[in-house]
Amino acid sequence: MKPLSYTQLQDRYGGQFVATYKGRVIASAPTSKRLFEKVRDRLGDKDLLIHHVDSKEAVCVYRISSSE
């Protein structure tokens, strides 16, 4: 099974926190605290990634500055 693209993650998990292991979602939750409770035994594994998936309706603004 191929890992999900970010667009697919937004379709399924938009607005939630997800834990991925080697590119596959292993847990999701509406808050980071609840997600940590679900994956507590796997914390510290170098292949575990925890992040928030923005909803498709979200508008992200990034400030870019140059250091001269």
What share of the chain in percent tops pLDDT 70?
A: 97
Measured between alpha carbons, how far is 16 from 54 in angstroms, rounded to an integer? 7
- Alpha-helical regions (H) of 1-68: 6-13, 32-39
Task: Output 4 or 19, whichever has higher pLDDT.
Answer: 19
How would residue 58 be classed by pLDDT, with cut points 50, 70 and 90? confident
- What is the DSSP-derived secondary structure letter of residue 43? T
From the number of C-beta atoms within 10 Å of its C-beta (0-12, 13-18, 19+), residue 53 rates as buried
Q: Tell whether the model's pLDDT for residue 61 goes beyond 90.
A: no
Measured between alpha carbons, how far is 7 from 16 in angstroms, rounded to an integer? 14
pLDDT value for 19: 95
